[in-house]
Amino acid sequence: MRKSCQVFFRNSKCARFRGHISFWDPHRGAHTADPISSVPDETDSGVTLLVQKTRKSDGPKSMDQTAKKVSVAKASLEYIGSGAALGVGTGTTVNVLIDLLPSIRNRIRSIVSSSGATAERLEKHGFEVSTLNSVGDLDVYIDGADEATKHLHLIKGGGGALTREKVLAGAARKFVCIIDESKLVGMLGKFPLPIEVLPMAQSFVARQIIKLRGQPVWRENFVTDNGNHILDVHNLTISNPLEMETRLNQLPGVISVGIFSHRPADVLLVADDRGVRKMMR
């Protein structure tokens, strides 16, 4: 494959890969580069962006997405035992779980959050959020995922909290991941892989990723709770998650990689139209 000689990101809402403009499309939730089905649009800055044409809907789903989130969040409550030290992740499915936690408040001894947004939501429900340093090991950590495989390997970090999520998963005796069936995939990588990097190293890290044939895009106007930046890597083949996670983690300047394979989920709860099914390793 020809190496890209284009700039991997710009200080604007677009990035260039292999001669095409890559941009964030809020309807698809990913950066795209699709010159065939796109039309030009002139911006005020004079930069021509490729605007994705509207595609026809695949039709209504059998079960509402919110209902699936509620179903799988409820199923995860059984893993929170009496006197539990609980870790809570970040994301829309986890938000549903947080709203259910007051119903089992008496079971929870202490609670640790993976992000400022999650801590704020927990506090609104009257929970006192502790630090991991003060709690020690967690009995259970519950979080969602952007992708998951049958081996319980995950891609996480769409919300930008991947480093703290990985720390809490590592500190937990049991890691329960809650998703709907749309997140279950045969191989990781269709969802852009988030990588948290030191701001001063993001250009260096991006060049190394291009050598691996990935397409890194800086998540503009976003800073993690740790004060770092996120590169979302598109079109990266992750046929061996363990090897890829190790390889990327060894790049100087990388804080954390959104592949969870060295510490996969212990239990994967998957909501579909028939209910919630459990996968274990």
pLDDT in tens, 208-241: 999 999 999 999 999 999 999 999 999 999 999 9
Domain check: are 78 and 164 in the same one? yes
Domain closes at, from 10, 41, 57: 57
Alpha-carbon distance 235 to 189, whole Å?
7
Alpha-carbon distance 231 to 15, whole Å?
12
Domain check: are 123 and 92 in the same one? yes
User: Average pLDDT for residues 259-272, to the nearest whole number?
Assistant: 98
When mean pLDDT is compared across 4-13, 174-183, 259-268, the lowest value belongs to 4-13
The model's confidence at residue 64, banded by pLDDT at 50, 70 and 90, is confident
3-state secondary structure 59-125: CCCCCCHHHHHHHHHHHHHHHCCCCEEEEECCCHHHHHHHHHHHHHHHHEEEEEECCHHHHHHHHHC
Residue 219 CA, distance from chain mean position: 13
Alpha-carbon distance 1 to 163, whole Å?
32
Tell me what the pLDDT averaged over the chain comes to. Answer: 84
Domain check: are 33 and 98 in the same one? no
Domain check: are 42 and 110 in the same one? no
| pTM exceeding 0.85 | no
Do 89 and 63 meet the contact criterion of CB atoms below 8 Å apart? no
Domain check: are 53 and 84 in the same one? no
Domain check: are 146 and 73 in the same one? yes
Domain check: are 31 and 157 in the same one? no
CATH number at residue 74: 3.40.50.1360
Domain check: are 163 and 276 in the same one? yes
Domain check: are 97 and 165 in the same one? yes
Judged against a pLDDT cut of 60, whether residue 13 lies above it is answered with no
Residue 168: DSSP 8-state: H
CA distances to 83, 171, 182, 222 from 80, rounded to whole Å, are 8, 16, 25, 33
Q: State residue 62's pLDDT score.
A: 62
User: Average pLDDT for residues 182-192, to the nearest whole number?
Assistant: 97
Alpha-carbon distance 244 to 114, whole Å?
24
Q: Which two tokens stand for residue 196?
A: 């948290």
Judged against a pLDDT cut of 50, whether residue 89 lies above it is answered with yes
* Catalytic machinery residues: 165
The model's confidence at residue 46, banded by pLDDT at 50, 70 and 90, is very low
Alpha-carbon distance 137 to 145, whole Å?
22
Judged against a pLDDT cut of 60, whether residue 188 lies above it is answered with yes
Q: Which two tokens stand for residue 94?
A: 């986890």
Backbone angles phi, psi at 63, to 5 degrees: -135, 140
Structurally, the chain folds into a number of domains equal to 2
Domain check: are 50 and 69 in the same one? no
Q: How many CA atoms lie within 13 A of 178 on its CB side?
A: 29
CA distances to 7, 27, 83, 209, 210 from 3, rounded to whole Å, are 12, 29, 54, 11, 7
Range of the domain at 26: 19-57
Domain check: are 45 and 166 in the same one? no
Domain check: are 165 and 80 in the same one? yes
When mean pLDDT is compared across 30-39, 59-68, 126-135, the lowest value belongs to 30-39
Judged against a pLDDT cut of 70, whether residue 268 lies above it is answered with yes
Q: Which two tokens stand for residue 13?
A: 């809402």
